[in-house]
Amino acid sequence: MKKSYHIINYGCQMNESDAEHFAGQLEDMGYAYNPDFHQADVILINTCCVRESAEKKILGKIGEMKAVKAAHPQKVICVTGCMAQKSGKKLLTTYPQVDLLIGTAHVNNFRGILESYLAGRKHAQHIFTDLEQIPEEFEGNFVRKSSFSAWVPIMYGCNNFCTYCIVPYVRGRERSRSKENIIAEITKAVGLGYKEFTLLGQNVNSYGKDSGAQDAFSDLLTAVDAIPGVERVRYMTSHPRDMDEEVVKAVAESKHICHHFHIPVQSGSNKIIKAMNRGYTREKYLGLVKLIRSYVPDAVITTDLIVGFPGETQEDFEDTLKLLEEVSYDVAYTFIYSKRSGTPAAKMANQVPQEIKQERLEQLMAVQNKHSLKHNEKLVGRTLEVLVEGPSHNNPLVWSGRTDGNKLVLWPKGQDNFVIGSKLNIKIEAAQTWLLKGRPSYE
């Protein structure tokens, strides 16, 4: 029987993309995907450490592997990704069931690492110490999870050092891939039937700046938009400090770049934005929102917010609530500040008590939900173009898809003559906070 693998993935889209590269190398080695990790010969846990809650969940999963490894000592347990990078050797000593610990710089030579482990069966860690030393291109193949939507990393790492964030310490400095390689990868994927492309980076607006290029991101967007067969282009994440008119213009003038702007503001208080080292002010941010809406009147604007950053007073928090009312986001992803050791904010005075953080989160979500519903209700009666994703995760009798603005749309199964990954016009009949419901307009 063919040997098999299973990947348990946590974290952001960059991790999902990395997981696809791990999968590709495993399949190149002759392993087949196994949906049940208990049956797999190689189990890979691809980790995230952006918040403590993520880490706790992952440590629980690594803990589960103790019994798995004890029952089947021949299985290979690999822990990869950001938490592996951060914890290093400590994790290997605490969890001896882990055979291989692989940091974020070793995605593309995973195959070699696994092969040498299998030859000697010696526990090993592969953690980078030099933040610059990360090769750009993946040598192996990769296996994409979706058959129509593709992640495309355009840059790695982050130079921003927002004071709360661990990412720059575990992903290293910014390195941009060459435009030629990105275009070639997308062109190849179009040939395989991919329609939607999400350009990935921690701060896509600084694409190309590591080699001194100007406006490289807007140029790249325009070039990707022009590739025949590309139907939708998305990108994440934008940094409000670096997002400029050139990018907004490129989106407005494009045929296929989605009118979705994810611009994480994190806080509405100038004092907190500064303490976070975000590099903009509330006023400058509001100017960006205005600019986006002037070029792209139907823009869907979303954000990330953190409550309870050290020193956040009731007044600061109210500034955030006011900002939410002022901007009226379609969606806001809200997080409770999580202390990450090694980051400057972890050492700041005036850490906010947990109950206050929790209370603020609930208040924030209540305000946001009102806006999300309002935006969705405005779409009732409209016919929207939806990219069909497949049956809904919660109800197999219902199809699901996404609008250009990344809104989830559900419609009942019936006499369907479309394929997954195609575009379909759906007449919206009902709106909820998190989704829209409708019917194909041909019915």
Would you tell me which residues interact with ligand F3S (CB under 6 A)? 11-12, 14-15, 48-50, 81-82, 166-167, 170-171
Q: List the single partner that 340 binds among ligand F3S, ligand SF4, ligand SAH, none, CB under 5 to 8 Å by kind.
A: ligand SAH
As a whole number of angstroms, the distance between CA 87 and CA 11 comes to 16
Q: List the single partner that 335 binds among ligand SF4, ligand F3S, ligand SAH, none, CB under 5 to 8 Å by kind.
A: ligand SAH
Kindly state the smallest distance separating residue 83's Cβ from ligand F3S, in Å. 7
Q: List the single partner that 11 binds among ligand F3S, ligand SF4, ligand SAH, none, CB under 5 to 8 Å by kind.
A: ligand F3S
Name the residues that contact ligand SAH, by CB under 6 A. Answer: 50-51, 164-165, 167, 202-203, 237, 264, 266, 304, 306, 335, 337-338, 340
Binding to ligand SF4 in span 223-262, by CB under 6 A = 239
Q: List the single partner that 48 binds among ligand SF4, ligand F3S, ligand SAH, none, CB under 5 to 8 Å by kind.
A: ligand F3S
Closer to ligand F3S by CB, 169 or 418: give it.
169
Q: Quick one: three-class SS letters along the chain?
A: CCCEEEEEECCCHHHHHHHHHHHHHHHHCCCEECCCHHHCCEEEEEECCCCHHHHHHHHHHHHHHHHHHHHCCCCEEEEEEHHHHHHCHHHHHHCCCCCEEECHHHCCCHHHHHHHHHHHCCCEEECCCCCCCCCCCCCCCCCCCCCCEEEEECEECCCCCCCCCCHHHHHCCCEECCHHHHHHHHHHHHHCCCCEEEEECCCHHHCCHHHCCCCHHHHHHHHHHCCCCCCEEEEECCCCCCCCHHHHHHHHHCCCECCEEECCCECCCHHHHHHCCCCCCHHHHHHHHHHHHHHCCCCEEEEEEEECCCCCCHHHHHHHHHHHHHHCCCEEEEEECCCCCCCHHHHCCCCCCHHHHHHHHHHHHHHHHHHHHHHHHCCCCCEEEEEEEEECCCCCCEEEEEECCCCEEEEECCCCCCCCCCEEEEEEEEECCCCEEEEECCC
Closer to ligand SAH by CB, 103 or 264: give it.
264
CA angle 221, 149, 377 (to 5 degrees): 85
Closer to ligand SAH by CB, 83 or 100: give it.
83
Kindly state the smallest distance separating residue 306's Cβ from ligand SF4, in Å. 9
Rule CB under 6 A: choose which of 34, 87, 203, 372 binds ligand SF4. 203
Q: List the single partner that 168 binds among ligand F3S, ligand SAH, ligand SF4, none, CB under 5 to 8 Å by kind.
A: ligand SF4
Q: List the single partner that 306 binds among ligand F3S, ligand SAH, ligand SF4, none, CB under 5 to 8 Å by kind.
A: ligand SAH
Q: Work out whether strand 436-440 and strand 423-431 pair parallel, antiparallel, or are unpaired.
A: antiparallel
Judge contact between 25 and 111, C-beta under 8 A. yes
Kindly state the smallest distance separating residue 32's Cβ from ligand SAH, in Å. 33
Rule CB under 6 A: choose which of 46, 47, 149, 160 binds ligand SF4. 160
Rule CB under 6 A: choose which of 165, 221, 275, 361 binds ligand SF4. 165
Closer to ligand SAH by CB, 17 or 25: give it.
17
Rule CB under 6 A: choose which of 34, 80, 104, 202 binds ligand SF4. 202
Told to check if 434 binds ligand SF4 by CB under 6 A, we report no
Q: List the single partner that 125 binds among ligand F3S, ligand SF4, ligand SAH, none, CB under 5 to 8 Å by kind.
A: none
Kindly state the smallest distance separating residue 150's Cβ from ligand F3S, in Å. 18
Kindly state the smallest distance separating residue 239's Cβ from ligand SF4, in Å. 6
Catalog residues that contact ligand SF4 under the rule CB under 6 A.
158, 160-162, 165, 167-168, 202-203, 239
